[in-house]
Amino acid sequence: MDKMDDDHKPTDEQRACPDGNGELTLDGSVPVVQITNLQTRFGRTVVHQDVNLAIEQGEIMSIVGGSGTGKTVLLRQMLGLERPTRGCVRIFGEDISEANAEHLQQLRNHWGMLFQQGALYSALTVFDNIAQPMRELRTLPADVVRDAVLLKMNMVGLGPEHVNKMPADLSGGMIKRVALARALALEPQLLFLDEPTAGLDPDLSESFVALIKSLHRELNLTVVMVTHDLDTLFALSTRIAVLAEKHVIAIGPTREVIKVDHPFIKEFFLGDRGKRALEALDEKRLDEKHKE
Amino acid sequence: MPSPPAPSLNVSPEVVTASGTWQVHALANRSTVNAVQAALKQLQGKKVRWDLSGIQALDHIGAQMLWNAWDKQRPADLKLADGHDEFFKRLEGASNLELPRQRTHRLTSVMKLGFAVMGFFEHLLGFVKLIGQVTQDIFRFARNPMRGPWREISANIYHAGFEALGITALVGFLIGVVLSFLSAQQLRTFGGDIYLVNLLGMSIIRELGPLLAAILVAGRSGSAITAQLGVMRVTEELDAMLVMGISHGFRLILPKVIALAISLPLLVIWTDAMALIGGMVSAKIELNLSSRYFIQKLPDAVPLANYMIGLGKGVVFGTLIALVSCHFGLRIKPNTESLGHGTTTSVVTAITVVILADAVFAIVFNGVGY
């Protein structure tokens, strides 16, 4: 952990973190992600103030908010890439800013992250990118790794003909798929998605949403997602948390959140774009019902 | 963290019972994996019944280990715990996936040599093209100087020239001190102390000053140019420039070539001066040779032609360094490895080319300036 400057001195309030048992709790008896009284400051700008958020096992939680409201910062704080000024972030019941190196590594093997640009290792092939987290364990035999990589690729809809390609030769949609396969390599229980459909055309983005949905069902994942895309948001989320004015102003299922009377929510969800997306969602639901 | 019960296999002659957690996190322990693998290997191909109902938790990687032991077929008699069937269904669906064979070329040493020679000529061709392009751009610049890339030239002179003053001064001074110190000891043995000025003056002004400055600039600015162009390739900035109709040659390469051709001779003068000052200080301490004598003697000892040759070297070396680093910078492919490799090759080649050019200078001007 890097040292914080004077401005960010840990205070007693940080200790206000409710004591955990110092162990990963994977059975869902505690929220998978629990954020309490979190505050983030950059210099004099306060980004988050008293943010509280609990994400339960098995749900798909979307975090939305205008630009600059610190959605991605919050996501990075959950991953331990950034440290909140105050407050605590618990993942699987473990305080990530206090966890020792061994626990942190266990934690990291239990979550996967899909970065906005994929963040594939540009010097490695698709195969090596996906195999890398498995090889990092240093215990799995090569044939198991090989088959597991092919299986992961199969899960995200990539055929074995792509294994020897380099990330630079892939299209945007394929990069996302490979990155998702890599994020899923160690069978995580918790998956973080940063703008999963940004930069994909509507067709691709729809199939990607369907992919995440099916994987969520199949692998019993908890998904935390930051997104701007209303279609993705409505199609995937079981709950939505809205960040505005430094707080979580609303949290709950989509239908309840859009009823909240707040200028940002009105503008974001009930503008033309939002209405269109909602209508499309309703139509799709009806279609599905008809089919059944 | 309470460690989950390790995956284990219990083999009785007829039935294999598996229990524990068959998940990747439990498989992160080497001895567990080895034990399981050994047990599975013994069972491979044997007809036994499999009872997996004792497995508490399973994931695809754990299932894969079992699946591989079954030769990728579902055994006839398989008992599974609730919900674990899905994993094997998934594996069954994906079991016919084969890794495509990677085509590897086995090269004989003759073929390798051939490729190396071809690669060399390809680089040479690219380099000649680059020189041609820069020449064209220089004419374009000369025809219409007002529309030239003045701002870029000035920025490059600042970065490659002004910012290098510190390091060249330090290195020049130290080399001057060392050279003077060592030569003084040798000269004193046969009483030729006063020839120290000739020795230092000739070697530094004609040879060492230009070479030192060039090597430092090749390391500093050469690598920076290659890396800059390489990152611009990675981030598609080069393509963006082309799309806007801004030519790489005119706006990126020409300014760098001109800037280095201007700043390297100036750095040569600076390095010369610093190295001579270093030599002078050392001579004062070691031989008690006065600074006044040193400075007075210098113009007699070193004809002006040598100074001009040194400056000429500066111009040529600067141009070569800029051209070589641009050449390699533009060839970088959009991945991190290529960036590192390209930068290394660029610096090594630039230094080699500078030394080669230095040898050419030595031959061409072998009768001049004595």
Tokens of B52: 């997996």
CB A220 within 8 A of CB A227: no
Q: With pLDDT > 70 as the criterion, what percentage of chain B qualifies?
A: 97
- Using the Cβ of B59 and the Cβ atoms of chain A, whether some distance falls under 8 Å is answered with yes
Which chain A residues touch B33 with a CB distance below 8 Å?
Answer: 139-141
The total of other beta-carbon atoms located within 10 Å of residue B193's CB is: 16
Among B24, B30, B335, the residue with its CB nearest the CB of A122 is B335
Given the cut 0.85, state whether the ipTM is greater than it.
Answer: no
- Using the Cβ of A110 and the Cβ atoms of chain B, whether some distance falls under 8 Å is answered with yes
Q: What is the pLDDT of residue A6?
A: 44
Q: Rounded distance, CA A150 to CA B68, Å?
A: 13
Q: What is the mean pLDDT of residues B233-237?
A: 85
Tokens of A73: 């910062």
Q: What is the pLDDT of residue B256?
A: 95
The total of other beta-carbon atoms located within 10 Å of residue A99's CB is: 20
Which chain B residues touch A154 with a CB distance below 8 Å?
Answer: 93-94, 97
| Residue keyed to tokens 């070569």 | B320
Among A141, A160, A166, the residue with its CB nearest the CB of B98 is A160
**Is the confidence at residue B52, as pLDDT, over 70?**
yes
Among A23, A144, A161, the residue with its CB nearest the CB of B61 is A144
The CA distance from A93 to the nearest CA of chain B, in Å, is 11
CB A88 within 8 A of CB A97: yes
Q: Rounded distance, CA B337 to CA A45, Å?
A: 38
Q: What is the pLDDT of residue A8?
A: 47
Strands, sheet with A239-244, edge to edge from the N-terminal-most edge strand:
A111-114, A190-194, A222-226, A60-65, A239-244, A247-252
Amino acid sitting at position A279: E
Nearest-by-CA chain B residue for A165: B102
Which chain A residues touch B32 with a CB distance below 8 Å?
Answer: 139
Q: Rounded distance, CA B320 to CA B260, Å?
A: 9
- Indicate yes or no: CB of B1 within 8 angstroms of CB of A103: yes
The total of other beta-carbon atoms located within 10 Å of residue A96's CB is: 20
A 194-253 residues inside an 8 A Cβ radius of B: 218
- Indicate yes or no: CB of A151 within 8 angstroms of CB of B91: yes
**Is the confidence at residue B14, as pLDDT, over 80?**
no
- In sequence order, which ranges of A220-262 are alpha helices (DSSP H)? 230-236, 254-257
Q: What is the pLDDT of residue A5?
A: 45
Query: Which tens digits make up the pLDDT trace of B174-208?
Result: 999 999 999 998 888 888 888 899 999 999 999 99
Strands, sheet with A33-42, edge to edge from the N-terminal-most edge strand:
A45-55, A33-42, A86-91, A94-95
Among B1, B60, B334, the residue with its CB nearest the CB of A168 is B334
- Indicate yes or no: CB of A160 within 8 angstroms of CB of B24: no
- Using the Cβ of B3 and the Cβ atoms of chain A, whether some distance falls under 8 Å is answered with no
Query: To probe the interface with A, which of B29, B41, B99 has the most A CB atoms within 10 Å?
Result: B99
- Using the Cβ of B36 and the Cβ atoms of chain A, whether some distance falls under 8 Å is answered with no
Q: What is the pLDDT of residue A2?
A: 44
Q: What is the pLDDT of residue A288?
A: 66
A 246-285 residues inside an 8 A Cβ radius of B: none
Which chain A residues touch B335 with a CB distance below 8 Å?
Answer: 122-123, 166-168
A237-264: b (≥16 Cβ within 10 Å) or e: bebbbbbbebebbbbeebeebbeeeeeb
Which chain B residues touch A125 with a CB distance below 8 Å?
Answer: none
B 290-329 residues inside an 8 A Cβ radius of A: none
Cα-Cα end-to-end distance for chain B = 81
Q: Rounded distance, CA A222 to CA B121, Å?
A: 56
- Indicate yes or no: CB of B99 within 8 angstroms of CB of A121: no
Q: What is the pTM of this model?
A: 0.73
- Indicate yes or no: CB of B98 within 8 angstroms of CB of A186: no
Q: With pLDDT > 90 as the criterion, what percentage of chain B qualifies?
A: 52
10-residue mean pLDDT profile of chain A (292 residues): values are 44 52 69 87 87 88 85 87 86 81 81 87 88 85 86 84 86 87 87 85 82 83 87 86 86 84 82 74 70 58
Which chain A residues touch B93 with a CB distance below 8 Å?
Answer: 154
Q: What is the pLDDT of residue B13?
A: 73
Whole-angstrom CA distances from B108 to B114, B119, B121 are 10, 16, 20
Whole-angstrom CA distances from B185 to B173, B207, B284 are 19, 21, 13
Q: What is the pLDDT of residue B361?
A: 94
- Indicate yes or no: CB of B90 within 8 angstroms of CB of A151: yes
Amino acid sitting at position B159: H
Tokens of B298: 């210098």
Q: What is the pLDDT of residue A9?
A: 45
Which range, A22-31, A140-149, B151-160, B285-294, has the best average confidence (pLDDT)? B151-160
Which chain A residues touch B29 with a CB distance below 8 Å?
Answer: 139
* Cα dihedral across residues A117, A121, A122, A127: positive or negative: negative
Tokens of A12: 């007693």
Nearest-by-CA chain B residue for A127: B99
Q: What is the pLDDT of residue A142?
A: 84
Tell me how many helices (H) and strands (E) chain A has: 11, 10
Give burial (CB, 10 Å; 0-12/13-18/19+) of B129. Answer: exposed
Tokens of B244: 């806007």
DSSP for residue A98: T
Tokens of A238: 């079981």
Amino acid sitting at position B129: K
The percent of chain A in helix, strand and coil, each rounded to the nearest 5, is 45, 20, 35
| Residue keyed to tokens 């230095």 | B358
The CA distance from A224 to the nearest CA of chain B, in Å, is 21
Q: Rounded distance, CA A162 to CA B117, Å?
A: 32
- CA-based nearest residue to B358, from B301, B328, B313: B313
Among A23, A122, A160, the residue with its CB nearest the CB of B1 is A23
Q: Rounded distance, CA A131 to CA A148, Å?
A: 8
Query: Which tens digits make up the pLDDT trace of B97-140?
Result: 677 776 677 778 898 899 999 999 999 999 999 999 999 999 99
- Using the Cβ of A27 and the Cβ atoms of chain B, whether some distance falls under 8 Å is answered with no
Q: What is the pLDDT of residue A73?
A: 87
Tokens of B189: 């043995």
- Indicate yes or no: CB of B336 within 8 angstroms of CB of A139: no
- Using the Cβ of A21 and the Cβ atoms of chain B, whether some distance falls under 8 Å is answered with no
Tokens of B321: 């360094």
